[in-house]
Amino acid sequence: MSDLVGELQSAGFPEASAVRKAELLGNCIRALGGKRPAYVIFVPGRVEVMGKHTDYAGGRSITCAIDRGIVAAVMPRSDSHCLFHACDIRQSLGFELTPSLAPPPVGWGNYVMSVARRVSRNFGPPILGADVAFASDLPQAGGMSSSSALVVATYLSINAANHFEHRSVYRENIRNVEDLAGYLGTCENGQSFGSLAGDRGVGTFGGSEDHTAILCSQAGHLSVYSYNPVRLERRILFPCELALVIGVSGVVAEKTGVARDRYNRISQLMSAIMEVLRAEGWNKPSLAAAINDDPHATECAGRILAASRHPLYKPTELLRRFEQFVVEHQRLTPAVADALEQRDWEGLGIAVDSSQRMADAGLGNQVPETIALARMARQLGAKAASAFGAGFGGSVWAMVNRYSAERFVSQWRDRYLAAFPHRADIAEFFITCPVSGAVVI
């Protein structure tokens, strides 16, 4: 466990946070019968600073990994059986690694078994299983990508037994860690990646932003990536005078049932936009590619969408979603990156406030709690604050003066719970920091 503490501290973790992860690892080791694991894996959650619902359309976002996430202890096997122990909820799941594996439609087993089936189809046979015990200190369904972190943790655990990177089919498709992030995004959304054929995925139509942040982040930095394919645009040193504070609303941002349908609808609107544009002769692979190459493309696309006759969506719906994407991708995300680099706190606050308003008006994915959290944070002196993640609940980040962060957390919590006392059992407030991506020991 001391190895994990040292590795995490070198990856940017405060000592107290690294020690907490070692305690989680102890729970995992006990679940494996007390045997020393062959591999220890830490997979962080992530914060999306900017780039609301842009990644699956090829847009850009600003993200970082944070010092909360999933710890896993892994023991490779000599057969194709997998046994996963979810230590937090004391549940276990066993299955064979086969291309015909049938994941359950909901629950954590859907994510684990969907990844297992996909890698069985793409990289086997032969393929070996593993005994895996994992535990997490991420708020569940809090917008910090607990589900994508589980996807990454599952892949890394099975890969520890197989080392897929030594297989030719892997090397032909996945050349670097950014490609791996893109591939794991398709494991979740069901799309193909190069010659690696897709399947149904987990049932959500997201992109690869979360997996990229989880795997590719750098300690002490925010990263600007664009997607389809994953490309690093720049890294921004997180200002040393600021602290990153998270307020978890207590409204669970589920991706199942009705909540999944609402989440998917936002990405389906983007698919509908591309259908309309391709019917007019636009042949770019993504919306970002279509509008990046031609300074007049945005205006032209707007005219096409305003006059569209899509069978499922009104022109006003398509246009509103299009405008939100264009402003977030082309103007607000670069403006926030520039403001952070230049310590322009006024410009930072203005750009982030605009993004928050557009999420409510353009995406329709805000709830009273996240709207209030962002507003309260700004009233209490935060340089900037915004909801992030899928929406329909989840969390809000705030950037505040480092030396007054503890007082800010207390005031933010008190003000929020006074307005929403029924969220007291689930709401959570904590200080975090940008750390490195996933660690395998």
Q: What is the pLDDT of residues 151-199, one digit of tens each?
A: 999 999 999 999 999 999 999 999 999 999 999 999 999 999 999 999 9
With CA atoms as reference, report the closest residue to 84 among 104, 100, 64, 65.
Answer: 104
**Bond prior to 239 in cis (omega within 30° of 0):** no
Question: For 67, what's the count of Cα atoms within 13 Å in the CB-facing half-sphere?
Answer: 28
**Bond prior to 229 in cis (omega within 30° of 0):** yes
Asked if the structure places residue 258 within a domain, the reply is: no
Q: Give the CA angle between residues 331, 333, 338 to the nearest 5°.
A: 95
Q: What are the φ and ψ backbone dihedral angles of 80, each rounded to 5 degrees?
A: -95, 15
Tell me how far CA of residue 162 lies from CA of 96, 98, 141, 211, in angstroms: 15, 14, 30, 21
Question: For 348, what's the count of Cα atoms within 13 Å in the CB-facing half-sphere?
Answer: 22
Residues 6+ apart with CB under 8 A from 127: 80, 97, 119, 120, 158, 162
Identify the burial level of 163 via C-beta atoms within 10 angstroms of its C-beta, where 0-12 means exposed, 13-18 middle and 19 or more buried: exposed
Asked if the structure places residue 379 within a domain, the reply is: no
CATH number at residue 174: 3.30.230.10
**pLDDT at residue 383, rounded to an integer:** 98
**pLDDT at residue 4, rounded to an integer:** 81
pLDDT, tens digit, 9 for 90 and up, residues 97-140: 999 999 998 899 999 999 999 999 999 899 999 999 999 999 87
**Cα dihedral sign, 33-23-4-143:** positive
Asked if the structure places residue 175 within a domain, the reply is: yes
How many independent structural domains does the chain possess? 1
Q: Which residues of the chain have pLDDT under 70?
A: 1-2, 141, 253-260
Q: Give the CA angle between residues 217, 222, 226 to the nearest 5°.
A: 75
The tokens for 316 are 């006003």
Cα R_g (the chain), whole angstroms: 21
Tell me how far CA of residue 383 lies from CA of 84, 96, 198, 297, 371, in angstroms: 42, 50, 42, 34, 16
**pLDDT at residue 259, rounded to an integer:** 59
Asked if the structure places residue 207 within a domain, the reply is: yes
pTM of the model: 0.95
How far, in Å, CA of 330 to CA of 217, rounded? 22
Asked if the structure places residue 17 within a domain, the reply is: yes
Asked if the structure places residue 82 within a domain, the reply is: yes
Contact 153, 72 (CB under 8 A): yes
Domain holding 56, by residue range, is 2-235
How far, in Å, CA of 173 to CA of 182, rounded? 11
**pLDDT at residue 255, rounded to an integer:** 54
The tokens for 186 are 């398709």
Nearest 10 degrees: Cα torsion 56, 62, 67, 69: -10
Asked if the structure places residue 427 within a domain, the reply is: no
Asked if the structure places residue 369 within a domain, the reply is: no
Q: Give the CA angle between residues 238, 242, 247 to the nearest 5°.
A: 100
